[in-house]
């Protein structure tokens, strides 16, 4: 017997197999609508108490940076011995006040002592040689002079004999040979006398040249002796100027080479401040820029006097001189924090400095909605900066609020939900 099947009604009809295609179609439609209407923004929930919120303001932007510098003497003279030696005695300790000429330390050099003894011996030998040479020359001079006197006497005798023989020969009282011999003896005596005279002149010139050369050599040895003795004086290290012995790198028994730096004298008459500045500002820092700093509730001013072009470890050095008075209790090595003015104050849109910059590089920031419950990522353009504010060139308006604390935990989310 066949049973009549009655059609489903109500809830059974909704869940029937015939209704399933409709349900699937409806789900597809709903999913498509969701895809079209959904807000494709990545969000991240953040505890509002863990972030720092700052307001964008408009005001006077002071273009300055804060640099740290150390006080140094304007003039420092290095202490370097002119002679090598071993530290024998130290008279003044590091940090003491000194006057020009005060003894600092004494060196000992046995090799230099030996050089002095050898030079003295050489000088004495040279003096004895010169003395003996002068005596020998004087004796030779006397000998030549004696020969000359003897020949002059012979010339006179031969002349008398010649004249006498000549008269006798003219009267035919003697033979011609006797007359000619007398004439030849007289002429020979005159020639010998003339030869001795020329020899005396030549010996005199030679003696003069030789004595002059030996005198010059002896004088040079004496000058050399004086220089060596002055080298002995250089073993005593003295202060070149009035000041403070700022450094003394020497101990008893230490071997010190010539020209080595063992200390320095600081001129306490004037000071400067040596500061290390980030290379980011090297094109903007130049001599003449002013800086201010405070010390013991007093304000002081300084001016850049010199900028060093060399960059090391991302920093370059600049020297400041005091513009006016300096602190009374100033000491070498003290650290001062200076506010270096790079330009004139100008009206600008600003936001307070924050650690967000380390993550974004100043290219974007999270901006709060007027309700303050959400913050959205927004591109911005940051210009100059000082220790307090960033200058905003584009992307923000005064009155808006931004998150200036660190973004390390926010990932790449476009929206922050503050709870």
Report domain extents, the chain.
43-61+346-418, 65-74+270-341, 76-109+235-264, 111-233
pLDDT of 326 higher than 60:
yes
Residue, of 336 and 201, whose pLDDT is higher: 336
Q: Where are the alpha helices (DSSP H) in 329-397?
A: 356-360
| Topology annotation, domain 76-109+235-264 | OB fold (Dihydrolipoamide Acetyltransferase, E2P) (2.40.50)
* 3-class secondary structure, 327: coil
How far lies 158's CA from each of 71, 161, 265, in Å?
101, 5, 88
Residue 223, pLDDT score: 81
Closest CA to 400 of 59, 56, 58: 56
Confidence of residue 23 (pLDDT cuts 50, 70, 90): low
- Strand-pairing partners, residue 53, are 403
Confidence of residue 36 (pLDDT cuts 50, 70, 90): very low
pLDDT of 387 higher than 60:
yes
Residue 321, pLDDT score: 92
The alpha carbon torsion through 29, 30, 35, 39 (nearest 10 deg) reads: 150
Q: How far apart are CA 167 and CA 160, in angstroms?
A: 11
Q: How far apart are CA 115 and CA 231, in angstroms?
A: 10
pLDDT in tens, 80-137: 888 888 988 989 888 888 888 889 898 998 888 888 788 778 877 877 887 787 788 7
Confidence of residue 401 (pLDDT cuts 50, 70, 90): very high
CATH 2.40.420.20 assigned to 43-61+346-418: yes
What percent of the chain has a predicted confidence (pLDDT) above 70?
91
Are the beta carbons of 402 and 396 closer than 8 angstroms? yes
- Strand-pairing partners, residue 273, are 71, 320
The H or E element that residue 79 is part of is: strand 76-79
pTM of the model: 0.53
| Topology annotation, domain 65-74+270-341 | Elongation Factor Tu (Ef-tu); domain 3 (2.40.30)
Closest CA to 292 of 331, 223, 342, 245: 342
Residue 295, pLDDT score: 86
Contacts of 78 (CB under 8 A, 6+ apart): 261, 263, 264
Residue 275, pLDDT score: 93
pLDDT in tens, 169-213: 888 888 888 888 888 888 888 888 888 888 888 887 887 787 788
Q: How far apart are CA 117 and CA 107, in angstroms?
A: 18
Closest CA to 94 of 236, 234, 233, 251: 251
Give the burial class of 291: count Cβ atoms within 10 A of its Cβ; 0-12 exposed, 13-18 middle, 19 or more buried: buried
Confidence of residue 21 (pLDDT cuts 50, 70, 90): low
Question: For the chain, how are helix, strand and coil distributed in percent, rounded to 5?
Answer: 35, 30, 30
As a whole number, the mean pLDDT across the chain is 84
Q: How far apart are CA 372 and CA 395, in angstroms?
A: 18
Considering only the C-alpha atoms of the chain, give the largest distance between any 2 of them, rounded to a whole number of Å: 220
Same fold flag, 43-61+346-418 and 76-109+235-264: no
Cite the beta strand spans of 80-214 per DSSP E. Answer: 85-90, 97-98, 103-108
Residue 1, pLDDT score: 45
Are the beta carbons of 379 and 346 closer than 8 angstroms? no
Residue, of 310 and 221, whose pLDDT is higher: 310
pLDDT of 37 higher than 50:
no
Residue 262, pLDDT score: 87
Token digits for 303? 């001016």
Are the beta carbons of 153 and 192 closer than 8 angstroms? no
Confidence of residue 400 (pLDDT cuts 50, 70, 90): very high
Cite the beta strand spans of 236-371 per DSSP E. Answer: 236-238, 243-248, 255-256, 263-266, 271-278, 290-295, 298-312, 315-322, 335-341, 346-352, 364-368
Listed range (218-222, 268-272, 349-353) with the worst mean pLDDT: 218-222
């Amino acid at each position: 017997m066949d049973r009549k099947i009655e059609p489903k009604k109500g809830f059974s009809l909704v869940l029937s197999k015939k209704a399933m295609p409709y349900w699937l179609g409806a789900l597809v439609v709903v999913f498509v609508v969701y895809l079209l209407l959904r807000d494709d923004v990545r969000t991240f929930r953040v505890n509002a108490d863990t972030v720092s919120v700052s307001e964008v303001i408009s005001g006077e932007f002071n273009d300055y940076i804060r640099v740290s510098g150390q006080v140094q003497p304007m003039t420092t003279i290095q202490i370097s011995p002119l002679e090598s030696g071993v530290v024998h005695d130290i008279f003044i300790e590091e940090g003491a006040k000194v006057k020009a000429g005060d003894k600092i330390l004494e060196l000992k050099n046995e090799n230099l002592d030996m050089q002095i003894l050898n030079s003295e011996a050489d000088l004495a030998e040279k003096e004895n040689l010169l003395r003996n040479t002068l005596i020998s020359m004087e004796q030779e001079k006397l000998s030549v002079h004696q020969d000359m006197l003897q020949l002059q006497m012979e010339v006179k005798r031969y002349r008398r004999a010649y004249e006498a023989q000549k008269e006798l020969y003219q009267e035919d009282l003697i033979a011609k040979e006797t007359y000619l011999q007398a004439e030849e003896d007289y002429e020979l005596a005159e020639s010998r006398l003339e030869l001795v005279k020329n020899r005396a002149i030549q010996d005199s010139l030679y003696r003069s040249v030789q004595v002059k050369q030996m005198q010059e050599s002896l004088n040079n040895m004496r000058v050399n002796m004086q220089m060596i003795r002055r080298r002995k004086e250089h073993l005593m290290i003295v202060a070149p100027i009035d000041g403070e012995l700022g450094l003394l790198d020497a101990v008893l028994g230490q071997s010190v080479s010539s020209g080595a730096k063992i200390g320095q004298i600081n001129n306490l008459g004037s000071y400067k401040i040596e500061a290390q500045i980030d290379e980011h500002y090297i094109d903007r820092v130049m001599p003449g820029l002013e800086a201010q700093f405070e010390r013991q509730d007093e304000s002081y001013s300084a001016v850049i006097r010199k900028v060093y072009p060399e960059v090391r470890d991302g920093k370059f050095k600049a020297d400041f001189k005091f513009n006016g008075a300096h602190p009374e209790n100033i000491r070498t090595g003290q650290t001062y924090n200076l506010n270096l003015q790079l330009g004139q104050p100008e009206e600008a849109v600003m936001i307070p400095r924050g650690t967000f910059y380390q993550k974004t590089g100043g290219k974007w920031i999270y901006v709060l909605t007027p309700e303050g419950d959400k913050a959205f990522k927004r591109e911005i353009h940051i210009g100059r900066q000082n220790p307090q504010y960033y200058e905003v060139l584009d992307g923000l308006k005064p009155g808006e609020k931004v998150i200036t604390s660190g973004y390390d935990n926010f990932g790449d989310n476009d929206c922050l939900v503050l709870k």
